[in-house]
Amino acid sequence: MEFREVLARRQSVRSYNGTPVTDSEITALLKAANASPIGRGLYQNVHLSVVRSKPLLKQVAAIAGEAFGDPAMDPFYGASTLILASCVEAAATTVGLANSACMVENMHLAATNLGLASVYLYGFIHTIAKNDEIVRALGVPKGFVPVAALAVGHTDKTLAERPLVTDKIQTSFVD
Ligand SMILES: Cc1cc2nc3c(=O)[nH]c(=O)nc-3n(C[C@H](O)[C@H](O)[C@H](O)COP(=O)(O)O)c2cc1C
């Protein structure tokens, strides 16, 4: 796909079918994440977990559902795979959060390029962040905290191109 088309097709998808993401697709997403800009090049301060365990995703969804007061809620919208970005605790509200956003967005665009559906996730993180047992079960190393995630999978929806515009974000020109 041309870069322009990737940008125009990227969108948040909130409906997934059960088709799994292949290992080679996961590798492509991880390459995209590893190509992200990371503050001061401190790659050791960020971490990714590829979570494909259905029971674990269900368990996390149940915790989030309870926290949001909606037990039927699925923060992953049925996506088969969650890629969780974590960072060192000390940077969780600063550069680590920014680094994780870069990694997730790179993967979001790479997923679009592969014809996969995906969505940036943040809301559910707070419902599990203090649950050490779940956080460790999600493959997050000690001393790291989860700060962002990408749900990725396949959808039955058509992911049409959207117009690329300049008026969604207010912009000042300073000449
Ligand atoms: C930092 C951040 C947090 C987000 N958190 C969530 C989330 O928890 N759940 C969700 O469904 N979408 C989430 N989104 C997706 C946004 O709602 C979405 O990008 C926005 O509505 C624009 O739609 P678009 O991505 O289709 O262009 C998040 C996006 C960003 C950048």
Q: From the CA of 175, how far away is ligand 1's center (Å)?
A: 32
Query: Where are the alpha helices (H) located in the chain, listed in sequence order?
Result: 3-9, 23-34, 54-67, 95-113, 125-128, 132-137
- Amino acid 24: pLDDT: 98
Domain limits at 27? 3-153
- Give the integer Cα–Cα distance in Å for 71 and 69: 6
Q: At what angle do helices 95-113 and 23-34 cross, to 10 degrees?
A: 140
* Mean pLDDT to the nearest integer, 65-76: 95
Residue 124, in any domain of the structure = yes
DSSP state of 21: P
Ligand 1 pocket test, pick from 93, 120, 168 with the greatest ligand atom count within 8 Å of Cβ, gives: 120
Cβ atoms 47, 141 nearer than 8 A: yes
Q: Which pLDDT band holds residue 19 (cuts at 50, 70, 90)?
A: very high
Cβ atoms 131, 165 nearer than 8 A: no
* Mean pLDDT to the nearest integer, 22-45: 98
Residue 52, in any domain of the structure = yes
pLDDT-above-90 percentage for the chain: 99
Closest CA to 134 of 81, 55, 70, 75: 55
- Amino acid 168: pLDDT: 98
Q: Phi and psi dihedrals of 133, rounded to 5?
A: -65, -45
- Give the integer Cα–Cα distance in Å for 81 and 51: 6
List pLDDT tens digits, range 102-148.
999 999 999 999 999 999 999 999 999 989 999 999 999 999 999 99
CA atoms within 13 A on the CB side of 104: 26
Q: Which pLDDT band holds residue 101 (cuts at 50, 70, 90)?
A: very high
Residue 174, in any domain of the structure = no
Q: Whose CA is nearest to atom 23 of ligand 1?
A: 12
CATH number for position 24: 3.40.109.10
Domain count of the fold of the chain: 1
Residue 132, in any domain of the structure = yes
Residue 69, in any domain of the structure = yes
Neighbours of 29 (CB within 10 A): 28
Burial degree of 158 (CB within 10 A; 0-12, 13-18, 19+): exposed
Q: Which pLDDT band holds residue 58 (cuts at 50, 70, 90)?
A: very high
Residue 92, in any domain of the structure = yes
Q: Is residue 22 in contact with ligand 1, taking CB distance under 6 Å? A: no
Residue 160, in any domain of the structure = no
* pTM for this model (two decimals): 0.98
pLDDT-above-70 percentage for the chain: 100
End-to-end CA distance of the chain: 34
* Mean pLDDT to the nearest integer, 93-99: 97
Torsion, Cα of 75, 78, 80, 84 (10° steps)? -10
Ligand 1 pocket test, pick from 121, 128, 161 with the greatest ligand atom count within 8 Å of Cβ, gives: 121
Residue 149, in any domain of the structure = yes
